[in-house]
Chains A and B, each alone.
Chain A
Amino acid sequence: MTTETPVLNSDQQRHARVDRAMRIVLPVLTIVVALGIWEGLVRYYQVPKYLIPAPSVIAETLVKDGPSLMGSMWFTIKLTLLSLFFATVGGIILGSIFALSRTVEMCFFPFAVILQVTPVVAIAPLILIYVRDTFSALLICAWIVAFFPILSSTVIGLRSADHNLRDLFTLYRATPLQRLRYLLAPSALPYFMAALKIAGGLALIGAVVAEFVAGTAGQSTGLASRILESSFRNEIPRMFAALFLVSVVGIAIFLATSWLSRAVLGNWHESEVRREN
């Protein structure tokens, strides 16, 4: 009746360590090489910085305009994270209601679909007219983009619990709350985490797009507005610097949601479990 516990030998452990290190070293090395080539080509062909600035010029701009760009970055981060937060809370609450009641879902799901399929660029000007506070208007725009993936995945996830486990909970007279806590919510987690990764990126896209729309009126101070402003002034290095910071925010959100997904699912779900060969 006993079974051996699988134990990694030292070779396997070393292999795992090397594998982990390579996951970081290889992409970093590739980026450094790509930047080196970029720098070399720009210098070799003496490309003017108002066409394509060298990475070193972008870095200089980042240092020089750092304080003002950081303020803009904080604005974009705040906007993105708040919209993601509200999308998550709204998606979970509405998704749970939809999962519990087909009638409510049939009534309100079309509204969610309409919000999803209508381009945010088309809705943003209207929202900016109706909502006086620019930040709130931008927040609504970013929320619209990030909300749908969370909602639809939560509904699917809550309905995906194994039917035998559902029977087991019935057999043991689980209360609705117990069923939600111990069965439905964990079953929905992989779907929810996948949606969160997508929604994280979409929230940033929503924030940037909304800023572009609002930024033309000179109302906001986010990174997207700085990109627009720099393009008007033909300050290409600053455009690249702001773009770089937008990418940094996107990467940080991706890494954070990936880490969260691994932390939550790493012990049991196929999508995050690392297999030893």
Chain B
Amino acid sequence: MSTATAPTLINIDNVSKQYGSGLIAVRDMSLKIEQGQFVSFLGPSGCGKSTALRMIAGLTSVSTGQIRFGGEDHGPQDIGFVFQEPTLMPWATVFNNVYLPLRLAGVSRKKAEPRVEDALAQVGLSKFAKSYPRELSGGMKMRVSIARALVTRSRLLLMDEPFAALDEMTRFKLNNDVLRLWQEYNLTVIFVTHSVYESVYLSNRVVVMAARPGRVVSDIEIQAPYPRAENFRNTPEYANYCAVVSDALNETLDTGDINH
């Protein structure tokens, strides 16, 4: 999807994050993310990948450095965010959960209805608009969360280990759904994961991070063509990329400074 000439969407310039406790979550992170890219932040627990994502979303402040959005003006309204948990309002129906971003933006229910229905159709949950979250499986809840992120038609989708708690079958299905939506909506996706296999399958770029302090150690381009289907997982190309990314990840295990 991304090309050499694609404009820069996000410019992360020498960004660090230090918490009040003194913990350095991210140190000197610099990255340029182009429009239309599918970038995975990969790393062990505590490497600051979620913190980096939250800083991009504006949910966590930056201690030093700058995050700039190039091209169009991307305020928080233009970001879709999918959390590790489905993060649905249990008191609201599926429809109302997906409608939430539009409701908060002042869009009337009547006007929002086609957009909510479209978002639900995209994730295969049209029949469940009136259901409550407790009536859904873990995978279905995550689909609702994705529909909610899509309903504002934002071009930037941030996903924080969204499928970590799901079984492998469901995760594979949702991986394919996300890839399809990325292509259909011409999205830019930043996907946080700790799975080498997931990152290689989904992304055209894997940013490997190390822990203590969190920092970028490798930036690997995955040149395998899209669309990618399940059989991609059985190709030598996929295995090679997994090996390369795994090696980069293994190197991070020896470089952490426990004192931070």
Q: Which A residues fall within an 8 A CB radius of B?
A: 1-3, 5-6, 162, 164-165, 167-174, 178, 182-183, 186, 189, 267-270, 273
- Give Cα distance in the complex from A178 to B103, angstroms: 9
Greatest chain B CB density within 10 A among A167, A171, A178 is at: A171
Given contacts A1-B123, A2-B127, A182-B103, contact A173 B77 (CB under 8 A): yes
Task: Say which one of B26-34, B131-139, B214-222, B223-231 lies at the interface with A.
Answer: B131-139
Q: Tell whether, in the assembled complex, residue B91 and residue A186 are in contact, meaning their CB atoms are under 8 Å apart.
A: yes
- Name the interface residues of B133-150: CB closer than 8 Å to any CB of A: 133-137, 140, 143
- Give Cα distance in the complex from A180 to B181, angstroms: 33
CB neighbours (8 Å) of B105 from chain A are: 172-173
Greatest chain B CB density within 10 A among A6, A169, A173, A270 is at: A173
Q: Tell whether, in the assembled complex, residue B79 and residue A183 are in contact, meaning their CB atoms are under 8 Å apart.
A: no
- Give Cα distance in the complex from A160 to B77, angstroms: 25
CB neighbours (8 Å) of A174 from chain B are: 104
- The size of the chain B interface, using a CB distance under 8 A, is 37
Closest A-B pairs by Cβ, 9 of them: A1-B124, A164-B87, A186-B91, A172-B104, A268-B90, A164-B83, A268-B91, A172-B101, A174-B104
| Distance of A115 from chain B, by nearest CB (Å) | 32
Q: Tell whether, in the assembled complex, residue B101 and residue A162 are in contact, meaning their CB atoms are under 8 Å apart.
A: no
CB neighbours (8 Å) of A5 from chain B are: 127
- Give Cα distance in the complex from A171 to B58, angstroms: 7
8 contacts between A and B (CB under 8 A): A3-B137, A5-B127, A170-B58, A172-B152, A173-B75, A173-B76, A182-B104, A267-B132
CB neighbours (8 Å) of A178 from chain B are: 103-104
Tell me the nearest residue of chain A to B85, going by C-beta.
A164
Tell me the nearest residue of chain A to B75, going by C-beta.
A173
CB neighbours (8 Å) of B135 from chain A are: 6
Q: Mark B75-96, 1 if CB is under 8 A from A, else 0.
A: 1110101010101011110000
- Give Cα distance in the complex from A171 to B74, angstroms: 12
Tell me the nearest residue of chain A to B137, going by C-beta.
A3
Q: Tell whether, in the assembled complex, residue A268 and residue B59 are in contact, meaning their CB atoms are under 8 Å apart.
A: no
Q: Tell whether, in the assembled complex, residue A3 and residue B140 are in contact, meaning their CB atoms are under 8 Å apart.
A: yes
- Name the interface residues of B111-143: CB closer than 8 Å to any CB of A: 123-125, 127-128, 132-137, 140, 143
Across the interface, B57 reaches (CB within 8 A) one of A162, A171, A182, namely A171
Q: Tell whether, in the assembled complex, residue A168 and residue B91 are in contact, meaning their CB atoms are under 8 Å apart.
A: no
Q: Tell whether, in the assembled complex, residue B104 and residue A165 are in contact, meaning their CB atoms are under 8 Å apart.
A: no
Q: Tell whether, in the assembled complex, residue A165 and residue B76 are in contact, meaning their CB atoms are under 8 Å apart.
A: no
- Give Cα distance in the complex from A37 to B140, angstroms: 56
CB neighbours (8 Å) of B81 from chain A are: 167-168, 171
- Give Cα distance in the complex from A6 to B92, angstroms: 19
Given contacts A3-B140, A168-B81, A171-B81, contact A273 B59 (CB under 8 A): no
Tell me the nearest residue of chain A to B58, going by C-beta.
A171
CB neighbours (8 Å) of A268 from chain B are: 90-91, 132-134
CB neighbours (8 Å) of B127 from chain A are: 2, 5
Q: Tell whether, in the assembled complex, residue B104 and residue A173 are in contact, meaning their CB atoms are under 8 Å apart.
A: yes
Q: Tell whether, in the assembled complex, residue A269 and residue B91 are in contact, meaning their CB atoms are under 8 Å apart.
A: yes
| Distance of B134 from chain A, by nearest CB (Å) | 6
- Give Cα distance in the complex from A168 to B89, angstroms: 11
Assuming A164-B87, A172-B105, A268-B90, what are 20 further A-B pairs, CB within 8 angstroms? A2-B124, A3-B128, A6-B135, A167-B81, A168-B83, A168-B100, A171-B58, A171-B59, A172-B77, A172-B104, A173-B75, A174-B104, A186-B89, A186-B91, A186-B92, A189-B91, A268-B132, A268-B134, A270-B134, A273-B134
